[in-house]
Structure 1
Amino acid sequence: MVPSASRASRLSPGLVRLLAVACGATVANLYYAQPLLDTIARALHVSSGVAGLLVTSSQVGYATGLVFIVPLGDLVDRRRMVCRLLLVTTLGLLLAAIAPSFWVLALGVGVAGVTSVVAQVLIPFASELADEEDRGSVVGVVMSGLLIGILLARTVSGLIASAAGWRAVYYVGAGLMLSLTVALWRALPDVAPPSTLPYRQLLGSIGTLVRREGALRRRMAYGAMGMATFSTLWTTLTFLLSRAPYSYGDAVIGLFGIAGLVGAGSARFAGRLADRGLTHRATLGFWLAVLGGWGLLALGTSSVVAIIAGLVLLDLGVQGQNILNQATIYALAPDARSRVTTAYMGNNFLFGAAGSAAGAAAFSAGGWDAVCALGAGFTLVALGCWLDEHRRIVAVPAVSSAQSSA
């Protein structure tokens, strides 16, 4: 993707890459804990069910930031906003690193979660700077960085914890946030915000957008099920792999995140499909991949190969449909992309938090089989949404044809 001459000074290839790195690094803050849950539970003397709430805390914090902070991207200078948020994220991670108890750790992770919504300020900003014909591709590149960050967060977290303890993970994360603050302050362009609405009206207009845009509601439904199934899997996978017959340590569990990198590779491909107008068909294909992934993962109690293959297929499907969703919603309201992001991602992370909690409860109650049944259930809901959308699409030409005949 090469920016046009009118945009080149604001959206160079180098800036696109920096935005991808920044999105990946900030959203990684939500996932550092996942391969460490068993270790943290033992270190801070809590149960595995309580430890699972650490992921829930970060996701609820993220959802809170999406609702109350991200809409400001339509109202204030994004360069200043992003850098200030990153400074607060740094402080939250430092609090997590020195936490004397589980609940202080949860507070630090929650604060970092609230302000790590930087990623959801930068993605619509990149969409705004991109040319119309390249928007799907640009979103795909930036989102591929975000997805790689999500997946590598687990691997890096596990390796650091294995070498230097789980607290070192949060010290390293804080240093990375501080470095990004400097880099983005230097690189981000000064662009006037697209809205002049007062803050309260800005928040109120989010509901208006959801009511007005049927495509936004449908894509919110897909995104919610995608985040629920994704969170269910990655929250509980640690518990499966840390127990017999595997009994893996933090470093090995973290390496399973690499299997999901194939899903990050689907981001650019999904972006190109969106630019070519194939969003509806591709959505079905990606959700069928998710269902197939759960089928393979159901064999995971006795086969590590099935786990790896299932991770690849499920992550590919979840991330592919997410790119299609975002490419669709950013075309709906050019002057309200941050608010559209709030509606979509806020809904996603609320369902992600619910998926984490439900997954942990399912594992405690029925083991890995119950987790796979829960994840497959979320996937079937999404496929039901696709069938409803398909019926609507098929009905429109039929009505138009009948009217023409009359």
Structure 2
Amino acid sequence: MSSLSSPMPNAAAAPALTAATRLSLSLIAGGSVANIYYNQPLLGVLAQEFGPSASSLVPTATLAGYGFGILALVPMGDRHPRRGLIVGQLLLLAGALLLAALAPGLPTLAAASFLIGVLSTAAQQAVPFAAELAPDAARGRMVGQVMTGLLLGILLARTLSGFVGAWFGWRAMFGAAALLSVALAALARLTLPTTKAATLLPYGRLMESVLDLALTQPTVRRAALAQALLFAAFNAFWTSLALFVQGPPFGLDPAGAGLFGLIGAAGALCAPMAGRFADTRSPRPVVIGGGLLTLAAFGVFDLLGERSLLAMGLGVLLIDIGINTALIANQTRVYALAAGARGRINTVFFTAVFVGGALGASAGTRAFAAGGWPLLCLVGGAFAAAGVLVPLLEPRLTGSSHTPPHP
């Protein structure tokens, strides 16, 4: 499509994605995305200081900012060199985190939280940067390695924040995160290569082409829908887990509930293996396998989770492996579509995933409040089953049972 790219004069070949660059991008992705989760273990403390509304306003502002950043900033990675965008976002992110740490009242904290969400989308510049630099034959594996860093940032942020907040206070967590953001900006400036812009489209046309991608690329739509449904199942579970295990028969405190994130971190380590399989075989069966693992997790939760912490841990491992496996495979599919439009593809894909996650979180909390753990498992399992059906039905939707390695 002419709206997806504009030829670049004298474009040089992209630098190689070295092991050092992959490590830097992994750290940047994980360290950036972690900022939108730091507030969650601190919400009780924030409510005590700023009033009950803080417990909903702060995380809502942060997630709203992240969604806005995906729409407004991530497409710019196709128009401007990503190293400069990453460095700039991280430095501004440090300022937003410092503002949060010094916030005198809830309005300032909410505004800072929104900015933290917007600027934390530096993580969504790092992943397509890896796809841009990786050779075609190894794109899934290398994107999987960078995604491991991002997923570990998501899963470990709550545990880290809970402990730092308990020992040093919530302001210390935001202050430490500001220092980390500056360090990551320096890392990006020193280690990431300089690349050419992928397109010359002005910003307005760039944003129009995001809509064009969503309307004209069925592979992007199907991958985004499948992942959104699976992420809805994932969020339905995680938003209710702490409430469930803090009650009888387990009686865990918030720190104990947060330790389930460490189990989930083990699942994130499977991302490179999923990417390697997607490279050598086909992404579609990997998506199906990840969806089936997610569905199996809800079976474990429903049958054994109310009686056994060991079963809960097994279910957490299954759901995290399943979600992460499907995510890497779906990203491998969509990043292979248009080399000059990966930032915009990322925008379409993760906007859908973000909407699915919000839907799952809302449905999960409502189901748990209305019918307890069994209804929560039913709702989460329904989302997971729908996420499996999308790739299963794909040959009928495309009119062929063959799925090419790079659709």
Q: Same fold (TM over 0.5)?
A: yes
Conserved 8 A contact 2:41-2:158? yes
Higher mean displacement: 6-15 or 181-190: 6-15
Q: What is the CA deviation profile of residues 309-337 of structure 1, one whole-angstrom value per residue up to 9, with x for unaligned ones?
A: 11100011011100001000000011101
For the structure 1 residues 289 and 61, does the alpha-carbon distance in structure 2 shift closer, same or farther, using more than 3 Å as the test? same
Q: Is the 8 A contact 2:70 2:121 kept in 1?
A: yes
Between the two proteins, what is the percent identity of the paired residues?
37
Question: Could you tell me how far apart the structure 2 residues matched to 1:313 and 1:272 are?
Answer: 19
Counterpart of 1:21 (choices 18, 27, 36) is: 27
In the other structure, the counterpart of 1:197 is 201
Q: 1:188 maps to which residue?
A: 192
User: Which position in structure 1 is the counterpart of 2:6?
Assistant: none
Q: In the alignment, which of 305, 312, 327 is matched to residue 307 of structure 1?
A: 312
Q: TM-score, normalised by structure 1?
A: 0.89
Shift of 1:161: 1.8
- In the alignment, structure 1 residue 321 sits paired with structure 2 residue 302: no
State the aligned residue count.
390
Letter matched to residue 347 of structure 2: T
**Residue 393 of structure 2: aligned partner:** 388
Instruction: Give SS of 1:336's match.
Output: helix
Mapped to 1, the partners of 2:177 and 2:364 lie a distance apart of 26
Amino acid at match of 1:89: L
Change (3 A) 1:104 1:233: farther
CA RMSD of aligned residues (A): 2.3
Amino acid at match of 1:171: G
Secondary structure at the aligned position of 2:393 is classed as: helix
Q: Do the aligned partners of 1:233 and 1:375 also contact (CA within 8 Å) in 2?
A: yes
Q: State whether structure 2 residue 335 is matched by structure 1 residue 330.
A: yes
Counterpart for residue 12 of structure 1: 18
Match of 2:375 in 1: 370
Q: How far apart are 1:125 and its partner, in Å?
A: 1.1
Distance 1:56 1:304, change over 3 A: farther
Q: In the superposition, relative to structure 1, how do residues 311 and 55 fare at CA in structure 2: closer, same or farther (>3 Å)?
A: farther
User: In the alignment, residue 237 of structure 2 is paired with which amino acid?
Assistant: L
Offset at residue 43 of structure 1 (A): 4.6
Q: One-letter code of the match for 2:282?
A: L
Greater CA drift, 53-62 or 114-123: 53-62
Pairing 1:296–2:334 present? no
1:59 aligns with 2:63: yes
Q: Deviations over 1:236-268 (max 9, x none)?
A: 222223334434334322221111022212201
Contact 1:29 1:116 in 2 (8 A): yes
Distance 1:130 1:100, change over 3 A: same
Task: Tell me how far 1:134 sits from its aligned partner.
Answer: 1.3
1:117 lines up with 2:133 in the alignment: no
Question: Pairwise mapping of residues 177-326 of structure 1 onto structure 2 (< 5 A)?
Answer: 177-298=181-302, 299-326=304-331
Classify 1:102/1:367 alpha carbon distance in 2 versus 1 (closer, same or farther; 3 Å). farther
CA contact (8 A) 2:64 2:114 kept: yes
Match of 1:136 among 133, 137, 140: 140
Deviation string, structure 1 residues 84-109 (Cα, Å, up to 9, x no partner): 11122112222333344555433322
What secondary structure, in the 3-state scheme, does the structure 2 residue paired with 1:335 have? helix
Three-state SS of the structure 2 residue aligned to 1:116 is helix
Cα distance, 1:202–1:9 mapped onto 2, change above 3 Å:
closer
Point out the more displaced range, 194-203 or 376-385.
Answer: 376-385
Q: Following superposition of structure 1 onto structure 2, how do residues 162-173 of structure 1 map, counting pairs within 5 Å?
A: 162-173=166-177
Deviations 1:115-150 (A, max 9, x none): 111111111111111111111111011011111111
Say if 1:114 and 1:318 are closer, same or farther in 2 by CA, change over 3 A: same
| Maintained 8 Å contact 2:24/2:192 | no
Amino acid at match of 2:166: S
Amino acid at match of 2:168: A
Whole-angstrom distance in 2 between the partners of 1:117 and 1:397: 36
130, 150, 154: which one pairs with 1:146?
150
Q: Distance in 1 between matches of 2:44 and 2:197?
A: 44
Equivalent residue letter for 2:66: Y
